Amino acid sequence: MDRAEAEAIYDSGREACVQFILGLAESVRLHEDRLRRLEEQARQDSRTSSRPPSTDPPKTRAERRAEARAKAKELMRRERERRAQGGQPGHQGAGRDLKPEDQVDEIVDHYPDACGGAAGGLMMSSVVRAGGSVATRCASCRRSA
């Protein structure tokens, strides 16, 4: 529409102007609805609809990197929340209590003869810790047994 057509509508009277403006408003509403539907369609991918992943558009390098960073961040958050190995605080163990030495018939010490690691067959060295416990370690690979 050019200026001459607009002036012709204006000159034709009030009712013609109101009808024309209402027609334009309806046209704008229809176009906005269509635009909204098309934008919703464009946002759909295999995660937000029942479409297969092969229909997803290819991602840019920046999008792939941002997705990988978000995934790594989530993994790190989960790692921090994960429980520690072994017995948890407050859990009553299921093992049996040790008896005092005067109630035991015989005490047998067991020590490994060889390393079970990559350097298998090598001699083990033993260290007696405070309290009587024994720590054994491979002389070659330093692996604890």
Q: Please answer whether residues 140 and 115 qualify as being in contact, where contact means their C-beta atoms are separated by less than 8 angstroms.
A: yes
**What average pLDDT does the segment 40-66 reach?**
85
pLDDT at position 145 is 59
The pLDDT tens digits for 110-119 are 766 667 665 5
User: What does residue 53 show for φ and ψ, rounded to 5 degrees?
Assistant: -60, -25
CA-CA distance, 81 to 106, in Å (whole number)? 45
By 3-state DSSP, what share of the chain in percent is helix, strand and coil, each rounded to 5?
45, 10, 45
pLDDT of residue 18: 92
Q: Is the pLDDT of residue 106 over 70?
A: yes
What is residue 27's predicted lDDT score, i.e. its pLDDT? 96
Q: Is the pLDDT of residue 144 over 90?
A: no
Q: Which residues pair with 126 in a beta bridge?
A: 136
Are the C-beta atoms of residues 91 and 100 closer than 8 Å to each other? Answer: no
Q: What is the pLDDT of residues 4-49, one digit of tens each?
A: 988 898 899 999 999 999 999 999 999 999 999 999 888 888 888 8
| Confidence (pLDDT) at 81 | 79
Question: Residue 64: which pLDDT band, with cuts at 50, 70 and 90?
Answer: confident
The distance in angstroms from the start CA to the end CA of the chain is 90
Give the model confidence (pLDDT) of 71-102 as tens digits.
999 988 888 777 777 777 888 878 778 888 88
